Structure 1
Amino acid sequence: MIWILLVLLYGVLKGLREIAKKKALEKNTVMEVLIAYTFLSFVFVLPQVPNAGGLEGRFYFYIAVKAFAVFLAWICSFQSIKHLPVSLYGILDLSRVLFATSFGVFALGESLSAMQAIGLATVCLGLLLLKFRIPLGKRKTDDLSANIIEENSAEKKKAPTFFVILALISCLLNAVSGFLDKVLMKDISSSQLQFWYMLFMVVYYALYMVAARTKVSMSVVKNKWIWILALMFIIGDKALFIANGIPESRITVMTLIKQSGCLITILGGYLVFKEKDIAYKLFCASVVIA
């Protein structure tokens, strides 16, 4: 089915985006990357302006709510990616399966079979296994913030539980966004959703800049990872919106397919950032994906 291929494309680009975010944050602050990333993404969707009109008033409100959820989700996720190993973030991001499935079942009335219920239990198991990081040596503590270790140059730093919580909040907010995508795409086009969604995002970040008196260095223009991020984001979201507009697509299945990108993120953590315990993280991810 075409919608499965579109969602798979989104998942692959999503996995690559997490790596690009980490690289972009090496050169600029979280808010500098977020603001530049959002404004540049909006520029990329401007060609869709001729196809973006004709919406009923109520849809502007729903799109504004979706954009606000993503606005908050991005702040949480970028802070998490900056302070956590990207391979760990990739696994934590799988928790959105739980949130999105809940929305699909309880809000959209999608059926949940016995096998799917077992699948969700397995998702929980895979996420809980992260608490018990098992290296080749002895495990000295059960605390998540002490067990999951980030390699930063030659110095090891403990990953604060606070940033793990931020990652989970981001997953919840992204699940809200995914739920609204499915609802909105029943009545509007992908061009309408993508243009107005990005316009609201620009407004939110502009208001944030004014309220927080945030300054953005011109070095963001030379940060090639921000350009790559924006391009992958626009292509991935376009594919996802089109998939949501296909009546046969199901949010519970789409959410699972999206998470295929986590394997790319985990491997990228090893190949690009030389992060440790990749085999165990791949094991945890495989439990969730299974």
Structure 2
Amino acid sequence: MLWILLAFLSATLLGFYDVFKKLSLRNNAVIPVLVINTVVCNCLFFPFIISSAVEWITPDESFFIPELGSRAHFYVILKAFVVLSSWTCGYYAIKHLPLTIVGPINATRPIMTLVGALLVFGENLNLWQWAGVLLAILSFFLLSRSGKKEGVNFSHNRWIFLLVLAAILGAISGMYDKYLMSTIHLDKLFVQGWYNFYQMLLMGLVMAFLWLPQRKRTTPFRWRWSIVCISLFLTAADLAYFYALSLPGAMISIVSMVRRSSVLVSFLFGAFIFHEKNLRAKFFDLLFVLLGMICLYIGTC
């Protein structure tokens, strides 16, 4: 199944995306990093929007982005708002939490998407897929136990709260993507290109009215080349993701779950590059996430 393979490709790219976020945000201001991220993502797609509008790219070419009217733009603006809210919460969380905790918690995000998929789209899971979901749930509780050994109390830590909020908003975004792709059939490049543009506008407003007036009283901004890599890997991951969702038979609950296998990449970098602690217990917790991914793959093939 091509869509499941694209989901795994997206997962690998997302793992490196998390690594570059951690590298960029260490002792750095969050809002400017987000702004640069949205600007670079927009620069990757806006030339295709312009080229399509002036017919330098024709409808029969791969990167043609159609103009779909004001209603479609409203849908995309709503997506940009949800995604940007999730990013903001997630960026602050990943700045202050170990990557070996952030990754596994993010890996449980599709459980929320699954509930929505069952309720809204009527998707049905087989026994293998249910086994994968239950293993992912178990991994979350095991991870909360491991986090306490590092002084990260899941019930009283504001960064954990922001990470969970980011996960909830990310799950809502995943459900909304399925709606845009399969229910109202918006073009995947239209969605990705224009939501990057609207995100850039929204972040520009946040920076102008919230960060700039307070910048001298907060963490200063430091330029790093890893900031650009955030956008490059995210864009590639999203391309694979949107293409997977646009294929016949693609299930948002499974695509979202598989994408969370990106935790393997981020966990390895957290262990060997950032030298994070309590790795043995966290690796045991991570195994349940990976076993869940395997169960989902078997149940889908």
TM-score grouping bracket, smaller chain normalisation? 0.7 to 0.9
> 1:182 & 1:56 partners in 2: Cα distance?
20
Letter in 2 for 1:62: Y
Taking a change above 3 Å as real, the CA distance of residues 121 and 206 of structure 1, as seen in their structure-2 partners, is same
Work out the CA distance in 2 between the residues paired with 1:99 and 1:20: 26
Q: Deviations over 1:98-142 (max 9, x none)?
A: 111112111111013344344333222110012222xxxxxxxxx
1:141 match: none
Cα distance in 2 between the residues matched to 1:4 and 1:172: 23
1:189 aligns with 2:183: no
DSSP 3-state at the match of 2:46: helix
Measured after TM superposition, the shift of residue 288 of structure 1 is 2.6
The 8 Å contact of residues 63 and 196 in structure 1, kept in 2 or not, is answered as yes
In the TM superposition, residue 69 of structure 1 has moved relative to its aligned partner by: 0.9
Q: Does residue 168 of the first structure (1) align with residue 169 of the second (2)?
A: no
Structure 1 residue 234, shift from structure 2 partner: 1.0
- Residue identity in the other structure for 2:188: S
Q: Is the 8 A contact 2:107 2:261 kept in 1?
A: no
Using structure 1 for the length normalisation, give the TM-score: 0.86
Letter of the 2:255 partner, please give it: M
277-286 or 34-43, larger mean C-alpha shift? 277-286
Give, in angstroms, the shift of residue 223 of structure 1: 1.5
1:263-282 Cα deviation digits (max 9, x unpaired): 11111101110011222212
Please give the residue correspondences for 1:151-230 in structure 2 after superposition, counting only pairs within 5 Å.
161-186=157-182, 187-214=185-212, 222-230=223-231
Q: Assess if the C-alpha contact under 8 Å between 1:266 and 1:281 holds in 2.
A: no
Query: Who is 1:32 aligned against?
Result: 32
Q: 1:274 is matched by which residue type in structure 2?
A: H
Whether the aligned pair in 2 keeps the contact of 1:99 and 1:172 (CA below 8 Å) is: yes
Matches within 5 A, 1:65-214: 65-133=78-146, 146-149=148-151, 161-186=157-182, 187-214=185-212
Give the match for residue 276 of structure 2.
Answer: 275
Aligned partners of 1:104 and 1:98: how far apart in 2? 10
Q: What corresponds to 2:249 in structure 1? A: 248
The amino acid of 2:23's aligned partner reads K
The alpha-carbon distance between structure 1 residues 86 and 223, as it changes in their structure 2 partners (threshold 3 A), is: same
CA distance in 2: counterparts of 1:254 and 1:105, whole angstroms: 14
Match for 1:8: what amino acid?
F
- Report the equivalent of 2:59: none
Q: 2:11 touches 2:262 (CA, 8 Å); kept in 1?
A: yes
Quote the residue 2:20 is aligned against. 20
TM-score normalised by L of structure 2: 0.83
Shift of 1:60: 1.7
Higher alpha-carbon deviation: 54-63 or 96-105: 54-63
Q: Distance in 2 between matches of 1:161 and 1:278?
A: 20
Which amino acid in 1 is paired with 2:118? V
Q: Is the 8 A contact 1:12 1:261 kept in 2?
A: yes
Gaps of 5+ in 2: 53-63, 292-301
Whole-Å Cα distance in 2 between the matches of residues 60 and 73 of structure 1? 20
CA distance in 2, matches of 1:63, 1:287: 35
Tell me how far 1:200 sits from its aligned partner.
1.2
Query: Between Structure 1 and Structure 2, how many residues are aligned?
Result: 272
